[in-house]
Amino acid sequence: MSAVDAPPGISFAGRAVGEFAAKKRPRRLAGRVFWMVLVTSVATGILAVRRVYGPHADVLMVVPLVCISVAGVGLAVRRARLRIDAGGIRWGWNDIGFRVGKDKMQGIDIYRDAIAVRQTRGSTWYLSGHDWDGFERMVPVLAHSGLPTKQHDTRAPLAARLQSYGIVLDLMLVADVVGSVFALGVAMGL
């Protein structure tokens, strides 16, 4: 696996067999959270700068930066795409991504609700059906790509379900908005 699998501006060698994005509702949530946190954080920062010697002003300078960082990471994760081609599987954006090449794969386990991409070195990638739009199309796409797959007629193991980031990320984004609005309320009370 490499952090940058192709030089910037150069896509992939070969044609993608399938490309997938996060489901629409979580993508929308991440975008709305980002803009809401950005607005409340800017307002909190302005109020904290005006009352720089007030109680908790130092915390109110840091909290907006943390909230914007969390919302930004959430938005970036939800905007990433999954691409499957004959050479492997890639998760990322246009210029930067993470890739498991066919030569680095031990195999791909396909469950009813998730896909596990096992690597010869490194950790296993779990792709949950709850996270990806068109998940049901991934199985034929993987078969068409020629990657080594193994079908299972069961749900994914508990470890795989716990490692899918979908619900955790959504809850973290909601908590981020609550924290950002709370910080704004504290800043207004100073």
Q: How confident is the model at residue 8 (pLDDT cuts 50, 70, 90)?
A: very low
- pLDDT, tens only, 99-151: 888 888 999 999 988 898 988 888 888 888 888 898 889 988 988 888 889 99
- Distance separating alpha carbons of residues 5 and 27, to the nearest angstrom: 24
The radius of gyration of the chain's CA atoms, rounded to the nearest angstrom, is 20
pTM of the predicted model as reported, rounded to 2 decimal places = 0.81
- Distance separating alpha carbons of residues 100 and 160, to the nearest angstrom: 18
At 122 the pLDDT is 83
Q: What are the structural domain ranges in the chain?
A: 19-189
More confident residue, 95 or 81: 81
- pLDDT, tens only, 37-76: 999 999 998 988 887 787 777 888 899 999 999 999 999 9
Asked whether the CA dihedral 40, 46, 49, 52 is positive or negative, the reply is: negative
Per the rule left: phi > 0, alpha: psi between -120 and 50, beta: everything else, 87 is alpha
Let me know: does 92 contact 19? Beta carbons within 8 Å: no
- Distance separating alpha carbons of residues 61 and 33, to the nearest angstrom: 20
- Distance separating alpha carbons of residues 1 and 122, to the nearest angstrom: 8
Q: How confident is the model at residue 95 (pLDDT cuts 50, 70, 90)?
A: confident
- Distance separating alpha carbons of residues 13 and 20, to the nearest angstrom: 18
Q: How confident is the model at residue 14 (pLDDT cuts 50, 70, 90)?
A: low
Mean pLDDT over 7-12 rounds to 48
- Distance separating alpha carbons of residues 51 and 54, to the nearest angstrom: 5
Helix axes 166-189, 57-79, angle to 10 degrees: 150
Close Cβ partners of 186 (under 8 Å, ≥ 6 residues apart): 56, 60
Q: What does the DSSP assignment read for 24-72?
A: HHHHHHHHHHHHHHHHHHHHHHHHHHHTTTSTTHHHHHHHHHHHHHHHH
At 1 the pLDDT is 44
115: helix, coil or strand? strand
